[in-house]
Amino acid sequence: MKRQLTSVEDFFKDDLNTLALRRAYRDVLDEELGEVLKSLRERAGLTQQQLAQRLGLSRSRIAQIENVEGLSLSLETLTRYCAALGCATVLEFVELQKGESVAQFALREAPARDSEWEFLPSSELRPVAHGECAA
């Protein structure tokens, strides 16, 4: 039976019971996140070198973030990357059975100490489309 591709998740949902296909699915998600990050950087009109200078990193580290790390990125690295582009990192927790958002919050930048995290009140949050900056 030929499958219609509606989303990557839908395409793989029946096959995620095998280790090889779970790994393939993870690879697709890694690549997808890297593409989103690269797209945001390009949308901001920055080269990898310019973004690296903003973050105090090497250009090769930016390339690694965009091309290799994907879902393995730490929350801090992802948040710093987004903050350097003028975006906030928005975390959303969705109840899978109902598909409803049960909580979300935005991190403006990952501080050095846990006590410095800034949580936005829910009144300041709004849904964010794929590839859109939350700031």
pLDDT along the chain (135 residues), means of 10: 58 67 70 88 96 93 84 84 89 85 76 51 59 53
Specify whether the CB–CB gap between 12 and 5 falls below 8 A. Answer: no
Range of the domain at 52: 1-73
Q: What pLDDT is recorded for position 112?
A: 47
Distance CA 112, CA 109 (A): 10
Residue 81 falls within a domain, yes or no?
A: no
Is the same domain home to 91 and 135?
yes
Token pair, residue 77, equals: 């690295």
Q: What pLDDT is recorded for position 62?
A: 94
Specify whether the CB–CB gap between 69 and 78 falls below 8 A. Answer: no
Q: What pLDDT is recorded for position 74?
A: 86
Domain boundary among 73, 102, 126: 73
Domain boundary among 48, 73, 98: 73
Is the same domain home to 57 and 94?
no
Going from the C-alpha of 35 to that of each of 6, 59, 92, 93, the distances in angstroms are 19, 16, 20, 22
Is the same domain home to 68 and 5?
yes
Task: Report pTM.
Answer: 0.61
